[in-house]
Amino acid sequence: MPLCTTTADTSEMPAAVCAEAVRVVPGADIASVTVIDDRAAWTAASTEERAIEIDSQLLALYAAVVTLELSGRGQPRSDEAWCSASG
């Protein structure tokens, strides 16, 4: 049996995923679902405004890194280098 049978069902799915994530992930107090396609990225659902603000900051950082890499001015970093540079 499919999870979603109508357009209305699929439009409600991101919010349901967020609610379930907060319920089942130990220590989680907020959650969001970010949709990324070939044109853009956006927050499709969240449990509260704080999650949207965090998503916005992460998406802006991601866009800056991609821009640097595409321009040839940036080099991809290893996980170790990223962790030591970010804090």
The pLDDT of 18-43, averaged and rounded, is: 91
Which pLDDT score, from 0 to 100, does residue 35 have? Answer: 87
Measured at the alpha carbon of residue 21, what is the angle toward residues 58 and 59, in degrees to the nearest 5? 10
pTM of the model: 0.62
Which pLDDT score, from 0 to 100, does residue 19 have? Answer: 95
Please indicate whether residue 81 or residue 29 has the higher confidence score (pLDDT): 29
Distance between CA atoms of residues 27 and 10, nearest Å: 27
Residue-wise pLDDT for 35-85, tens only, equals 888 888 889 999 999 999 999 998 888 888 878 777 766 555 555 555 555
Give the pLDDT band of residue 6 (cuts 50, 70, 90): low
Q: Cβ neighbours of residue 83 under 8 Å, at least 6 residues apart?
A: none
What are the structural domain ranges in the chain? 7-86
Distance between CA atoms of residues 24 and 78, nearest Å: 31
